[in-house]
Structure 1
């Protein structure tokens, strides 16, 4: 069973206007033809009413409305005719192209063009006069003209809809890019915050525990000195991070990111912080000086060493902690090794975020990293962190 949607209010207005206009023309006696089979003027009201009813279906069932309207127009040719019927039929042709299926919108202009050509040729062949050519022009205006107009409007509407969809997709992609950028920036900030502050807070935690648990004024004074030094350094690092988050802060331009030139100071500080735990920190730099490394590589190497020293301070057994740097043509090698095992005295808890941050830094540069216990000399197991950071930017620019 065919279920028709409720007519659009604009279609109701068109139907009512067409019917009212046709009734007015009939009342004043205005017709478009004479000498037809049915000369009674009231007969022309029947095609008028049918065409007006078809206008109610111009959106919900455009093909049905066009078919019924075409039959009504043919029937109207056997009466005195009504201009309103013809005008409403042109609207039905226009609506069938505009609101019909894509296939119908392509076929109707072609069919109406063929009908126009056929009618014109037929009348010219039957009566080769100017009136025959005029009839063909009128048929084209009634059939092909509205179809061509509907196709043009539909093409513009489809183009506007496609442009809107592209704009929506572009906005969606932009939002996805923004969300990814925010996530990446938050991850970077988390790594920076952890790497900068964890070292100082770990030293503070270990030495404050020692100061509380060991009843020795000298030890307590030494621990308090380490705590104060790491508090000051941690505060400076926090200020540097805040400066990085500001484009032009009120406190002046942000300080530069740490580089490998600062490793001596980092190793010295780590040695001072871990001396009471029985750790000795040394730096072995076997790099061949051939120009500066890319800034991201130097920052990543510095942070890997910093986090590895922090982990050694928290977990390593008494013994040597060795930081090694070496370069090849394509990569910077960073290695930090410490004695693997339990140790006496206070320890700071770990969360595992440090290793994750180091792996993220290495992955962002396209390098490789491994971390874990390995056999060492004299049967002593060591915890070794080894990272290879590509330095193609430097070699390409050389």
Structure 2
């Protein structure tokens, strides 16, 4: 950490620069010109006769102006030399410019000096301010000597105290900035630790879900390679196939849950790049049984836009007509793998939100159909000119839906379609396999 002037933080030594600061040169020039102007006008601070008169008064002015150029680089030296110069000025007719530049040197000595000097100088000047009038009154026995004490305080204690206040304020501001940076650093460390902890949790979850299947695959593949027996080999290959399919399903379910929990609810922009949700976060793994609630909420939100929403669920009839499921009851026939239900729910949710934002007045239809091989999700929404402005699409919604379908090795399409009955519609169609395809691991 460094100061504004480039010094490392905590370095109490005065910083060194190759040449005087521009502000110091301006102060020195102003003091010198002021002293020349006062001398030209015949203005002086001492009215009685002094040993050195006339242009001698410009010598302390010039020395003070030279010291002003070093007020930041050598504050301790300048305040010491400035005190001697002010004492020497008492032998001349005196100049107000010399006094004012001395006060600035005292101020700079506290502001730019070491912390020890910043603490000592105000106390020293305070003692001098008190001691001078007491000593003069005791010596000359005149109350007028108190005025000299007041003048001493104005040119020494006052600037030193002001410098201390400004320095304390700057130090407090610097400390606050450092605390803010440290807080940000701690927050970043906490975030990284949270990420590492989450990765460790994911690794444990992955191990618990997949290790069993991989262990069985390893054992039976070793047996198939070691034993030259057709029955044993066929048995081993069957077990390997079964564990491969189950392990892959578990992997897909885990990936789907992780992706979903990371986003919670997505946002989108319309048919060309839709939205994810209405701002609510459903259950960690919602199912298609919650579609009625989803459509009810969509009807409420879309009533003012002239939108209606209907659900055409053909899964029961389709499954009952499918031979392999002919002898199953309804509850069993409608059961779907968890990743398929999650993907289907999210696709419907994305599409309904897009329709609420961008569809023309009309009816949005959600259709579900299921066969022995796949679950088909289809959403039709009116795609005509809609009154009022449309939000531009970012493509995030379509990308998310396409990724969900690709994760299950399904098929996905989305875009405008012209139909003979209802004109143009925006069609979203996803086909999600409910059984593992042959030839896939």
Q: TM class, shorter-chain normalised?
A: 0.5 to 0.7
For 2:130, the equivalent position in structure 1 comes to 117
Of 184, 188, 199, which residue of structure 1 is paired with 2:201? 188
For 2:371, the equivalent position in structure 1 comes to none
For 1:102, the equivalent position in structure 2 comes to 115
For 2:171, the equivalent position in structure 1 comes to 158
- Shift of residue 87, structure 1, vs aligned partner: 0.5
- Shift of residue 253, structure 1, vs aligned partner: 4.1
For 1:307, the equivalent position in structure 2 comes to none
Of 73, 77, 86, which residue of structure 2 is paired with 1:64? 77
- Shift of residue 205, structure 1, vs aligned partner: 4.1
Evaluate the alpha carbon distance shift between residue 204 and residue 255 of structure 1 in structure 2; reply closer, same or farther with a 3 A threshold: farther
SS class of match (2:93): coil
CA distance, structure 2, for counterparts of residue 189 and residue 245 of structure 1: 12
CA distance, structure 1, for counterparts of residue 170 and residue 117 of structure 2: 16
- Shift of residue 164, structure 1, vs aligned partner: 2.5
Structure 2 residue 25 is matched with structure 1 residue 12: yes
For residues 11-160 of structure 1, the aligned pairs below 5 Å read 11-38=24-51, 40-125=53-138, 126=140, 128-129=142-143, 131-160=144-173
CA distance, structure 2, for counterparts of residue 16 and residue 192 of structure 1: 75
- Shift of residue 168, structure 1, vs aligned partner: 2.7
Evaluate the alpha carbon distance shift between residue 223 and residue 255 of structure 1 in structure 2; reply closer, same or farther with a 3 A threshold: farther
CA distance, structure 2, for counterparts of residue 186 and residue 4 of structure 1: 51
CA distance, structure 1, for counterparts of residue 169 and residue 76 of structure 2: 21
Structure 2 residue 214 is matched with structure 1 residue 201: yes
Of 212, 226, 230, which residue of structure 1 is paired with 2:239? 226
For 1:265, the equivalent position in structure 2 comes to none
Backbone CA RMSD of aligned residues: 2.9
CA contact (8 A) 1:196 1:237 kept: yes
For 1:305, the equivalent position in structure 2 comes to none
CA distance, structure 1, for counterparts of residue 18 and residue 103 of structure 2: 22
CA distance, structure 1, for counterparts of residue 258 and residue 284 of structure 2: 5
- Shift of residue 66, structure 1, vs aligned partner: 0.6
Structure 2 residue 218 is matched with structure 1 residue 177: no
- The normalised TM-score by structure 1 is 0.57
CA distance, structure 2, for counterparts of residue 140 and residue 216 of structure 1: 109
For residues 191-340 of structure 1, the aligned pairs below 5 Å read 191-208=204-221, 218-219=231-232, 221-242=234-255, 243-244=257-258, 246-247=260-261, 248=264, 253-254=283-284
Evaluate the alpha carbon distance shift between residue 40 and residue 73 of structure 1 in structure 2; reply closer, same or farther with a 3 A threshold: same
CA contact (8 A) 1:240 1:254 kept: no
Greater share of residues in helix = 1
CA distance, structure 2, for counterparts of residue 33 and residue 94 of structure 1: 24
CA contact (8 A) 1:207 1:224 kept: yes
Can you list the C-alpha shifts for 1:28-61, whole angstroms capped at 9, x where unaligned? 2222222231352311100101111111221121
SS class of match (2:51): coil
Instruction: Give structure 1 stretches of 5+ with no counterpart.
Output: 257-398
CA contact (8 A) 1:5 1:60 kept: no
SS class of match (1:81): coil
- Shift of residue 98, structure 1, vs aligned partner: 1.4
SS class of match (1:47): helix
CA distance, structure 2, for counterparts of residue 217 and residue 108 of structure 1: 100
CA distance, structure 2, for counterparts of residue 159 and residue 44 of structure 1: 42
- The normalised TM-score by structure 2 is 0.51
- Shift of residue 70, structure 1, vs aligned partner: 0.6
For 2:421, the equivalent position in structure 1 comes to none
- Shift of residue 77, structure 1, vs aligned partner: 1.6
Evaluate the alpha carbon distance shift between residue 213 and residue 4 of structure 1 in structure 2; reply closer, same or farther with a 3 A threshold: closer
For residues 336-347 of structure 1, the aligned pairs below 5 Å read none
- Shift of residue 241, structure 1, vs aligned partner: 2.2
Instruction: Give structure 2 stretches of 5+ with no counterpart.
Output: 1-15, 266-275, 287-441
